[in-house]
Chain A
Amino acid sequence: NAGVTQTPKFQVLKTGQSMTLQCAQDMNHNSMYWYRQDPGMGLRLIYYSASEGTTDKGEVPNGYNVSRLNKREFSLRLESAAPSQTSVYFCASSDWGPESEKLFFGSGTQLSVL
């Protein structure tokens, strides 16, 4: 099993460009998440999907959109990238909700917006 797979691993964008980060899990998990990690800020939840067909805003949703394409896949879209979105992005999944289930993380996407 691959676990949680994120693509791409690295990306450089110019301000105003758009892009989609892809995430897929093969553990048949119901819940999926997108986090960003910045130095000194820890992990901040952008969006999550508690189950297929549902998505909810997290702590820092502005400037992002998500799609839960099916049970396996959860994508994160930046419509008009800004330098403030330079960060490391992690996708994660869990069997059910985050409160009682451990999270499995992907290897991350390092995004730079110039």
Chain B
Amino acid sequence: GQQVMQIPQYQHVQEGEDFTTYCNSSTTLSNIQWYKQRPGGHPVFLIQLVKSGEVKKQKRLTFQFGEAKKNSSLHITATQTTDVGTYFCAGGNNRKLIWGLGTSLAVNP
């Protein structure tokens, strides 16, 4: 079946270090969405990428969508303690949203 693999599952970084999470799909996606879930909270939409090769930035966050529309990445530059949480990708395909299992980010101050 359709899958979206997300790696790594966990990441611990020192404050100020960079962080990247990757998503890979077994099928071509129509778009990819990224969400952040703070501990004890609910998923909150960050961004949606639609075009092949698209790159979008939100302050210290950079999102990329692969040329083949099968992979995506989220890169955080100079992490802060406020970045703590789980980051989920979700790929759109055939009128469905396929979720990755998330990457949990811990930031040591």
Using CB atoms and an 8 Å cutoff, list the residues of chain A in contact with chain B.
40-45, 90, 97-100, 102-108
Q: How extensive is the interface on chain B, given as a class? A: 20 to 34
Q: A40-B101, A42-B88, A43-B99 are in contact. Are A100 and B31 (CB under 8 A)?
A: yes
Q: A42-B88, A43-B88, A107-B42 are in contact. Are A102 and B99 (CB under 8 A)?
A: no
One of B33, B42, B99, B102 near A106 (C-beta < 8 A): B42
Q: A90-B42, A107-B42 are in contact. Are A100 and B92 (CB under 8 A)?
A: yes
Interface residues of B in 47-105 (CB under 8 A from A): 48, 88, 92-97, 99-102
Q: A90-B43, A105-B42 are in contact. Are A99 and B30 (CB under 8 A)?
A: yes
Report chain A residues within 8 Å CB of B45.
102-104
Using CB atoms and an 8 Å cutoff, list the residues of chain B in contact with chain A.
30-31, 33, 35, 41-45, 48, 88, 92-97, 99-102
Residues of B contacting A: mostly = strand
Report chain A residues within 8 Å CB of B33.
102-103
A105 touches B31 (CB 8 A): no
20 contacts between A and B (CB under 8 A): A40-B101, A41-B101, A45-B97, A90-B42, A98-B92, A98-B96, A99-B92, A99-B94, A99-B95, A100-B30, A100-B48, A100-B92, A102-B45, A103-B43, A105-B42, A105-B43, A106-B42, A107-B41, A107-B42, A108-B42
A98 touches B97 (CB 8 A): yes
Report chain B residues within 8 Å CB of A90.
42-43
